[in-house]
Structure 1
Amino acid sequence: MQSDTTGIWTPVALSADLPSGTVMPARTSAGSIALWRSDSGRPAASADRCPHRGMRLSHGFVRGEALSCIYHGWSYAQAGNCLRIPAHPGLTPPETIRVATQQIEEADGVIWVAVGEPTDQPPRFDGFVPLRSLTAQAGIAAIEAAAGAKKNANGFLRQSLHSEEIGFLLVEQEPDQTLVHVFIGDNATPLNRILASRAAEALRRKAEGVQTNGISA
């Protein structure tokens, strides 16, 4: 996820968790964002505060190619400029009214948001496909201890499950909270996908025990 000193990519969500016409909260090291997908399927990352009254845009709604605040309905384009102020339907909003946006990339079923200005593309995980995401009330060190393995430079931790390999893409949310994107081999059977999901749940429980007790749970 670290590209160089100028910027990093953060895997904020799986593509399957953000259908067209929806918005959800997400987080990067720069703070909270409203992650949304237009009706045409284009993802976007906007600052999670409406410039009008500070309402969280992740509580808002998507109509067409715009994200609207749930409070007074101010609407914003994916570029961040204000498109519409319902209380003043005849007004063309000035360019000064806008929300900050962040660069976004979607590849192999993962949505990545840039913090700063990365000079390369997000990492790829050949041979794996995303399975699900979960949140562990445990830090990355506790997850590594529970798994008996270390993540690589891209935050990807591998574990064997019978004849299959599982991948865990670890994203720190807080010092004691981690977003875990679970990956499985691209040729995995439905049964192996079920077993991998159960293994992810077991790892979460064990890591939370390590976080709480400082010993293997």
Structure 2
Amino acid sequence: MSSDTAGSWTPIALSADLPAGTVMPARIPAGPIALWRSQAGHAVASADRCPHRGMRLSHGFVRGEALSCIYHGWSYGKTGNCLRIPAHPSLTPPETIRVATHDVEESDGIIWIALGQPAARPPRFEGLVPLRSLTVNANVAAVEAAAGAKADPEGLVSPSQHPQEIRLLLAPQDDQTLIHVLLDDKSSPSRRIAASRTAESLRRMAEDLQAKVQAS
């Protein structure tokens, strides 16, 4: 599981959920990020705070290869440098104005964010395809208990009652867990529907378990 901030990867979203020209909020152990995709298709992870007035960049908009703040329109490139300040159109923004960015990799339909300096590429899950993502209001231990199985070092869980139906890719997020549901790449539409229902059931079970622990 991607928990070693000295150098690891965390699965932050599914590629299908981030079309070109869009931005979405996300979270990694280092804090909130604005995950966006340029019009050319490049996925970028920027710190979710404009240096100007602190507005969340995930509320902004993508134009071409830049992410712009919705407040005063300051624009930032893929490496975090400020490209444009609309109030001063003739000004070349200094290099000191920038937002922090994180390395991004995409593989098998999953967007991975680097934590620190990973020594290797993100894991591959050949034969599996992503179905959907969901956030569980429970920690990883509660999700594992609901699934009846432990996550492997890559964060992948095979639920004991559904070993051939779905895989759960876990990403801890403070007191929540982000789950990416993966299926066999030859799954029929009916199996995809069943897998989605199974994931929802596991979410409810994990949240109930978490509530009982907190109440005890």
Give TM-score, length-normalised by structure 1.
Answer: 0.94
> Share of identical aligned residues, percent?
67
Aligned to 2:139: 139
Do the aligned partners of 2:5 and 2:115 also contact (CA within 8 Å) in 1? no
Assess, with a 3 A threshold, how the Cα gap between structure 1 residues 126 and 72 changes in structure 2: closer, same or farther: same
For the pair 1:213 / 2:212, whether they are aligned, the reply is yes
Do the aligned partners of 1:24 and 1:58 also contact (CA within 8 Å) in 2? yes
Assess, with a 3 A threshold, how the Cα gap between structure 1 residues 163 and 46 changes in structure 2: closer, same or farther: closer
Counting only pairs closer than 5 Å after superposition, residues 109-120 of structure 1 correspond to structure 2 as 109-120=109-120
Cα distance between partner residues in 2 of 1:33 and 1:91: 27
Aligned to 1:73: 73
Q: Could you give the per-residue CA deviations for residues 83-104 of structure 1, whole angstroms, max 9, x where no partner exists? A: 1000001111111111111111
For the pair 1:17 / 2:39, whether they are aligned, the reply is no
**RMSD, aligned α-carbons:** 1.7
**Structure 1 letter corresponding to 2:180:** H
Do the aligned partners of 2:147 and 2:160 also contact (CA within 8 Å) in 1? no
Aligned to 1:193: 192
User: Which 10-residue stretch deviates more, 196-205 or 6-15?
Assistant: 6-15
**Structure 1 letter corresponding to 2:128:** F
Assess, with a 3 A threshold, how the Cα gap between structure 1 residues 163 and 115 changes in structure 2: closer, same or farther: closer
SS at match of 1:54: coil
Give TM-score, length-normalised by structure 2.
Answer: 0.94
Cα distance between partner residues in 2 of 1:108 and 1:161: 25
Cα distance between partner residues in 2 of 1:90 and 1:98: 18
Cα distance between partner residues in 2 of 1:52 and 1:162: 49
Assess, with a 3 A threshold, how the Cα gap between structure 1 residues 94 and 179 changes in structure 2: closer, same or farther: same
Q: Could you give the per-residue CA deviations for residues 46-99 of structure 1, whole angstroms, max 9, x where no partner exists? A: 111111111110110000000000000000000111110000011111111111
Unpaired segments ≥5 residues, structure 2: none
**Structure 1 letter corresponding to 2:53:** R
SS at match of 1:165: coil
Do the aligned partners of 2:34 and 2:48 also contact (CA within 8 Å) in 1? yes
Assess, with a 3 A threshold, how the Cα gap between structure 1 residues 12 and 5 changes in structure 2: closer, same or farther: closer
Unpaired segments ≥5 residues, structure 1: none
Greater strand fraction, Structure 1 or Structure 2: 1
How much does 1:2 deviate? Answer: 4.1
Assess, with a 3 A threshold, how the Cα gap between structure 1 residues 13 and 94 changes in structure 2: closer, same or farther: same
SS at match of 1:45: strand
How much does 1:38 deviate? Answer: 0.4
Do the aligned partners of 2:104 and 2:111 also contact (CA within 8 Å) in 1? yes
Matched pairs, number: 214
How much does 1:159 deviate? Answer: 2.4
Counting only pairs closer than 5 Å after superposition, residues 165-184 of structure 1 correspond to structure 2 as 165-175=165-175, 177-184=176-183
Assess, with a 3 A threshold, how the Cα gap between structure 1 residues 20 and 161 changes in structure 2: closer, same or farther: farther
Do the aligned partners of 1:105 and 1:111 also contact (CA within 8 Å) in 2? yes
Do the aligned partners of 1:168 and 1:180 also contact (CA within 8 Å) in 2? yes
Cα distance between partner residues in 2 of 1:198 and 1:108: 23
